[in-house]
Every structure is written in structure tokens, then in C-alpha cells.
């Protein structure tokens, strides 16, 4: 209201019949409306914005309301949707996904994908630059301005030093250097290590596999982890980790509510093969469904199961069925720090050293980001900050790693001659028995 009274804008305001109201500004002559709407209100359905500007969108954890804005612009020519934000503590938000998509499109510009997008990203290149103030212009372009450089630089250095003294330098890195981090300072893994492990294509058919099983409790998912040891270039030992989750929704009330609660689009991921929505009419885990899915998956991919680890307290119907009807080598693992410390540390080490690969699986990614380290006097294990944060997949991977970590060692079960027959299927035992390798046939004893 003050601006339109100034000499510079007064005449123009009269020409376009400008009106300033409490929550919007209107140019009646041009039929333009500038309107402020909060994200929480979600009242976008009846609008078709020519330009929509969403500030601090990095705090938004779901695309549900954002999609209403975008769908309302479909028939508007030359429309724009502008997203503005700093980085936030949770790197699994849609804004960060969009940022990664745009960065990939720019790096693969020859594909001409995402030509309707423009990404302007001011951020540091690495955490090391926390202690290199001369590089901070990357995330703070106002440092280029002589009029602001001194005050801004002093403020940034004071903030960094204060956060270091309080043991919370991650806040400075996140908000002031625009670096996406994991969710907590005691996180199991760094985001960069989780993302670096992505390798989309991997053929599992006919491979030896170690399986881990984490059964659902209340609102948790039931997760099955598959670990495939393999040798990369020059014989470097590596481990491929994949998973499949079974999603209950009884505690949340519906699958829609479950998706909002967990911040994961389970129905879309089910189409991609990363999970199965429970078939139970009341939304509980259907153990028959889990059992039959697992048997079919192992059979269809001709997998050689040499270890199946599960929570020792979770001897569920599924485990009992596997015990009675299969020859999988099942082993209960006590879920305490003294038992889990070695596979937990090994999994962490693999991600840091780059000896582990995984698919671009959002369920696994979310679990890895949610996992935090719990430590006591006798060991470590992973834990979560609150019930709605899912780490079931990580628990299942660690159960599989209980033996998979030793796969390339002479004392590993895969190389233990005393367990050679024990790890075979019935058909493999028959073939081995009839072979010369067994040493059981020959001489006077093979005539029967």
C-alpha cells in the first residue's frame, strides 16, 4: 500500500486499477492477482497460476499439495513453478530429489531431458570446505558484493565457530553452506556414501545369496534383504545388497495414511518391484503372502541360499514354514550389541570404502538415512530416533551380513568343506553323491 502511493508507482497503479487487500493484490485492468497462500492450507485446486513461487520448499516432505499446483498449470501457456530453498536436515524430501534430477540432466545434457527445467544451485562441493572460507562464495553468492562481503563473511565465520563449540557444526554445513547431510550427527552413514553406492543394473540369476529377515512389529514393515557377494575388476571383493519389503497399514488406518506417515510412495514402489502392499483385509502382515513370495523369488531367480539369518525373537510362522518345508540354513541372531557389532561395523565400512552396491531403491535409501548408531559398553547396533522412521531394511541387511561378511575368507561358510553337503539342496546332494568328487563311489562298492 505504501509503494503505490509513491510518485514512481502512483500513476501506474491508477492506470491498471490496482487494489491492495489483506491477503492479495489485484490489477483489475490486466486481470492479474498476486496472492499469498500457505502450504498448510493446500487451497490450490481452483487456481491456475501463471507463476507460482514456493519459498523454503525444502521443508516439505510430500508432493501431494505441490502436485495440485503443477496440475493446475497444465493449460496455462508459459507457466512457471519456481522452487526456492536452502538445504534441510532431511535429505529425502522432494526438493532434494528434484535437485538431483536436474543435476543429472545437466551432466547428461546430450540426452536433452528436462529441457523445461532450469536449476540454479549455490552450494559447496564438499564438507572439507567448511574450513575454507575463501570458497564460501559458492553457497553464498552475496560474498561477491563488496558492500556485503565483510559483514556476511564475519557472520558466517562466527556461526561456524559457535556451532563447532556446541558440537553442532552440521547445522552450519546444512543451512549456511547448502550441503545436504544425513538426518543426525550420530547417523549410521553419510548421505554421499549412500548415494555413491547406487548401481542400477545387476544380474542376480543363479547367484549365491545370503538372506536376512526382519519381521514387522506394529507399524513397522517386514523386510527381506538379499546380499550377493561378487568379484569386481581385478578380483576386488564386493557385496550387492537388495531388498523387498511388505507394507502393513493397519496401525496407520489406510495405505494412503501410511504413505504420508512414512514419507514414502509405497504404491509406486510396489509397481517397481521394491515392495508388496499387504493383502490382509485389515492391513496386517500376511505371513502366507511373505512365505510364498520368498519361495517364488528364490525359485524364479535360481538362487543358491547358503545362509538365512533372522531375529532370534522373531521365530514367526514364516520361519516355522521355512524350517519344515525347505532346506535353507536358518539361523536365529540375537538382536543385541555384542552379536550385531561386527556385521554393523562391516556394513558401514563397505559403504565408506565403496565395496557395496545397491539399486536406486527409495525404501532402502530411506532406511539407510534413518539408521543411527546405538552404542553401549559391549558393542554397537543400529537404531532409529522415533517409531515412524523405518530402518527394517537395515536390520535385515545386517542379519544377512552376519555371515556374508566372511564370504571371501577361508573360514567363511561358503568355503568350509565341512559344511559343503549341509549347504546343498537335495538335488545338489544327489549330484554330488554320484560324482567322483564325493569319493563315495568306486571299487567294489559301486555295484548295487
pLDDT exceeds cutoff 80 at 395: yes
pLDDT exceeds cutoff 60 at 443: no
pLDDT by residue (tens digit) across 231-277? 998 899 999 999 999 999 999 999 999 988 888 899 999 999 999 99
Confidence of residue 184 (pLDDT cuts 50, 70, 90): low
Rounded to an integer, what distance in angstroms lies between the CA atom of residue 403 and that of residue 22? Answer: 66
Rounded to an integer, what distance in angstroms lies between the CA atom of residue 176 and that of residue 172? Answer: 5
Better pLDDT: 324 or 414: 324
Mean pLDDT of 338-347: 96
Mean pLDDT of 160-189: 87
Q: Is the dihedral of CA 345, 346, 348, 352 positive or negative?
A: positive
Alpha carbon dihedral 44, 45, 50, 51, in 10-degree steps, equals 20
pLDDT by residue (tens digit) across 303-312? 999 999 999 8
CA angle 52, 53, 56 (to 5 degrees): 145
Mean pLDDT of 369-393: 86
Rounded to an integer, what distance in angstroms lies between the CA atom of residue 351 and that of residue 370? Answer: 15
In CATH, the number for domain 191-415 is 3.30.420.240
C-alpha cell at 359: 539399486
22 SS3 class: coil
Extents of the domains making up the chain:
127-175, 191-415, 417-448
Can you give the pLDDT at residue 111? 83
Amino acid at each position: 500500500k505504501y509503494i503505490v502511493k509513491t510518485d514512481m508507482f502512483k500513476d501506474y497503479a491508477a492506470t491498471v486499477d490496482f487494489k491492495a487487500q489483506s491477503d492479495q493484490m489485484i490489477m483489475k485492468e490486466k486481470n492479474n492477482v498476486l496472492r499469498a497462500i500457505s502450504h498448510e492450507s493446500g487451497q490450490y485446486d481452483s487456481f491456475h497460476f501463471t507463476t507460482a513461487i514456493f519459498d523454503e520448499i525444502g521443508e516439505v516432505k510430500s508432493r501431494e499439495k505441490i502436485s495440485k499446483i503443477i496440475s493446475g498449470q497444465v493449460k496455462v501457456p508459459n507457466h512457471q513453478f519456481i522452487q526456492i530453498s536452502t538445504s534441510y536436515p532431511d535429505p529425502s524430501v522432494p526438493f532434494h530429489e528434484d535437485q538431483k534430477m536436474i543435476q543429472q540432466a545437466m551432466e547428461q545434457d546430450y540426452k536433452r531431458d528436462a529441457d523445461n527445467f532450469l536449476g540454479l544451485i549455490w552450494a559447496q562441493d564438499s564438507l572439507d570446505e567448511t574450513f575454507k572460507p575463501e570458497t564460501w562464495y559458492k553457497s553464498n553468492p552475496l560474498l561477491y558484493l563488496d558492500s556485503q562481503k565483510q559483514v556476511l563473511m564475519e557472520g558466517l565465520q562466527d556461526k561456524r565457530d559457535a556451532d563447532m563449540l556446541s558440537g553442532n557444526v552440521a547445522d552450519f554445513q546444512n543451512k549456511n553452506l547448502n550441503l545436504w547431510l544425513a538426518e543426525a550427527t550420530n547417523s549410521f552413514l553419510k548421505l554421499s556414501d549412500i548415494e555413491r553406492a547406487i548401481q542400477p543394473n545387476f544380474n542376480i540369476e543363479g547367484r549365491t545369496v545370503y538372506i536376512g529377515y526382519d519381521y514387522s512389529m506394529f507399524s513397522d514393515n517386514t523386510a527381506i534383504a538379499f546380499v550377493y557377494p561378487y568379484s569386481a575388476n581385478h578380483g576386488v571383493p564386493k557385496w550387492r545388497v537388495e531388498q523387498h519389503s511388505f507394507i502393513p497399514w493397519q496401525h496407520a488406518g489406510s495405505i494412503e495414511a501410511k504413505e504420508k506417515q512414512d514419507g514414502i510412495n509405497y504404491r509406486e514402489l510396489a509397481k517397481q518391484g521394491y515392495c508388496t502392499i499387504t493383502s490382509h483385509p485389515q492391513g496386517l502382515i500376511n505371513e502366507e503372502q511373505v512365505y510364498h513370495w520368498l519361495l517364488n523369488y528364490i525359485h524364479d531367480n535360481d538362487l543358491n541360499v547358503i545362509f538365512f539369518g533372522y531375529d532370534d525373537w522373531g521365530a514367526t510362522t514364516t520361519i516355522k514354514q521355512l524350517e519344515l518345508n525347505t532346506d535353507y540354513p536358518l539361523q536365529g541372531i540375537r538382536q543385541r550389541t555384542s552379536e550385531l557389532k561386527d556385521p554393523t561395523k562391516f556394513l558401514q565400512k563397505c559403504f565408506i570404502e565403496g565395496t557395496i552396491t545397491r539399486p536406486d531403491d527409495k525404501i532402502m535409501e530411506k532406511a539407510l538415512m534413518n539408521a543411527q548408531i546405538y552404542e553401549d559398553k559391549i558393542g554397537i547396533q543400529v537404531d532409529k530416533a522415533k517409531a515412524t522412521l523405518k530402518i527394517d531394511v537395515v536390520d535385515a541387511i545386517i542379519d544377512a551380513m552376519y555371515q556374508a561378511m566372511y564370504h571371501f575368507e577361508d573360514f567363511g561358510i561358503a568355503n568350509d568343506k565341512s559344511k559343503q553337503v549341509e549347504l546343498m539342496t537335495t538335488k545338489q546332494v544327489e549330484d554330488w553323491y554320484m560324482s567322483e568328487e564325493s569319493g563315495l563311489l568306486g571299487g567294489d562298492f559301486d555295484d548295487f
